[in-house]
């Protein structure tokens, strides 16, 4: 098996230019970018020139080129399914930006085709492979916060329209807070708690049409969600996402509550920087006589402890999941940010929309195999 895999990138927009292409060129020694492709050829050409990438190809050419091992799909969500399926039909492994599909059918068709062709599918977000989430998982596995009872995922703010050069797509089918930011916290929650069994959710569209910079855009997707996930073993988690709230003091966060303490991850979309994982432990709530202190419990925030991260990981490390998938292909084992997991995540995201539309609980159809922790030296070995 070859040591360095050749990547064909489709989509040379914001995330490709800002994160993936520089990261792959600089950080991950098991892959190289062989070719770029974009509907806007000039965009691909200028990115290729900036990084000395040899080939700019059309869509037909990139799928047919026998040199390419993996298609990295960084296009808009509406075309992920079509392009991922085409890549698999042309015999290439796929790593896709999130979501894997706009609904369960698209995601499950994709993993079924990969299985039939004996190819790998991986999917963002891969943030759960970063040092912050990995540290949380170790805290849980080590039993520091006791038996896990429940969890909370939240991300509530006033929309992403001021941070992207062309933001209208955030309010169209395929995006909204559930499909756009939901994959981060939801993946992490599932990574901690296991497969979901049933969901319920209330929500809707808060502001329509939506003022964006110098114009208004029609909103096609729900913009606030108040949901609950029930897991197979009966435990629950609450999920709150919104792009309609000003300064809600509710995230971004993933929190896990155990019998002996609570775990706080301050930013689900972060690979690991400084001390951003905290715990609050029952033992720190006791006074000198060993009794739970009312004074301490009413100021519990002051007793949170930083947990040192289990490994060093650059804050922004997009592409880590693809890097890990390539090692999995070489070793003939399942990858971690894998298609089965992404399919379950997609069903949860879509399930919340179905629950809002029907006003009834949504019963999950898919599941996933437990995903183990990352080796703590993985990131440093791949540099």
Which residues lie near ligand NAD (CB under 6 A)?
Answer: 10-16, 37-40, 43, 59, 74-77, 79, 97-98, 164, 166, 180
Q: Cα–Cα distance between 319 and 19 in angstroms, integer?
A: 8
Query: Judged by CB, which is closer to ligand NAD: 37, or 139?
Result: 37
Query: Judged by CB, which is closer to ligand NAD: 55, or 278?
Result: 55
Q: Compute how many other C-beta atoms are within 10 angstroms of the C-beta atom of residue 25.
A: 16
Minimum CB–partner distance for residue 145 and ligand NAD (Å): 29
Minimum CB–partner distance for residue 335 and ligand NAD (Å): 19
Query: Judged by CB, which is closer to ligand NAD: 140, or 265?
Result: 265
Q: Cα–Cα distance between 210 and 196 in angstroms, integer?
A: 33
Query: Judged by CB, which is closer to ligand NAD: 17, or 293?
Result: 17
Minimum CB–partner distance for residue 15 and ligand NAD (Å): 4
Minimum CB–partner distance for residue 367 and ligand NAD (Å): 24
Determine phi and psi for 25, rounding to 5 degrees.
Answer: -65, -35
- Which residue of the chain is nearest ligand NAD when measured via CB? 13
Beta sheet of 277-281, edge-to-edge order: 305-306, 277-281, 261-265, 253-258, 148-156, 236-242, 224-231, 196-204, 362-363
Minimum CB–partner distance for residue 43 and ligand NAD (Å): 5
Q: Cα–Cα distance between 348 and 367 in angstroms, integer?
A: 10
Minimum CB–partner distance for residue 308 and ligand NAD (Å): 27
Q: Cα–Cα distance between 364 and 343 in angstroms, integer?
A: 11
Determine phi and psi for 124, rounding to 5 degrees.
Answer: -70, 160
8 A C-beta contact, residue 382 and residue 28: yes
Query: Judged by CB, which is closer to ligand NAD: 155, or 262?
Result: 155
Q: Vertex 371, ends 147 and 304: CA angle to 5°?
A: 40
């Amino acid at each position: 098996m070859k040591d360095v895999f050749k990547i064909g990138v489709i989509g040379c927009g914001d995330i490709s230019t800002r994160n993936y292409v520089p990261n792959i060129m600089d950080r991950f020694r098991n892959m190289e970018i062989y070719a770029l492709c974009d509907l806007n050829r000039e965009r691909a050409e200028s990115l290729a020139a900036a990084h000395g990438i040899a080939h700019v190809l059309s869509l037909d050419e990139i799928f047919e080129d026998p040199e390419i091992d993996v298609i990295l799909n960084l296009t808009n969500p509406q075309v992920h399914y079509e392009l991922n399926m085409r890549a698999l039909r042309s015999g290439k492994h796929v790593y896709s930006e999130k979501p894997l599909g706009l609904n369960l059918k698209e995601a499950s068709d994709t993993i079924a085709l990969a299985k039939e062709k004996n190819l790998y599918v991986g999917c963002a977000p891969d943030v759960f492979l970063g040092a912050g989430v990995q540290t949380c998982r170790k805290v849980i596995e080590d039993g520091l916060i006791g038996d896990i009872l429940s969890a909370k995922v939240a991300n509530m703010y006033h929309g992403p329209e001021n941070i992207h050069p062309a933001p209208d797509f955030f309010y169209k089918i395929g995006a909204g807070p559930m499909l756009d930011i939901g994959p981060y916290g939801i993946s992490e929650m599932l990574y901690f708690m296991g497969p979901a069994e049933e969901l319920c959710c209330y929500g809707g569209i808060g502001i329509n049409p939506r003022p964006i910079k110098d114009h208004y855009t029609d909103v096609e997707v729900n913009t606030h969600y108040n949901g609950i996930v029930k897991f197979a073993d009966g435990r629950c988690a609450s999920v709150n996402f919104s792009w309609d709230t000003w300064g809600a003091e509710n995230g971004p966060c993933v929190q896990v509550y155990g019998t002996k303490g609570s775990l706080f991850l301050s930013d689900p979309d972060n690979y690991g920087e400084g001390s951003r994982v905290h715990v609050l432990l029952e033992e720190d709530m006791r006074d000198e006589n060993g009794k739970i202190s009312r004074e301490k419990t009413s100021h519990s925030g002051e007793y949170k402890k930083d947990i040192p991260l289990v490994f060093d990981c650059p804050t922004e490390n997009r592409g880590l999941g693809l890097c890990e998938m390539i090692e999995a292909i070489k070793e003939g084992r399942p990858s971690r940010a894998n298609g089965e997991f992404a399919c379950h995540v997609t069903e949860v995201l879509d399930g919340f929309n179905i629950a809002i539309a029907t006003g009834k609980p949504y019963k999950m159809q898919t599941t996933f195999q437990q995903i183990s922790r990352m080796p703590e030296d993985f990131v440093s070995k791949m540099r």
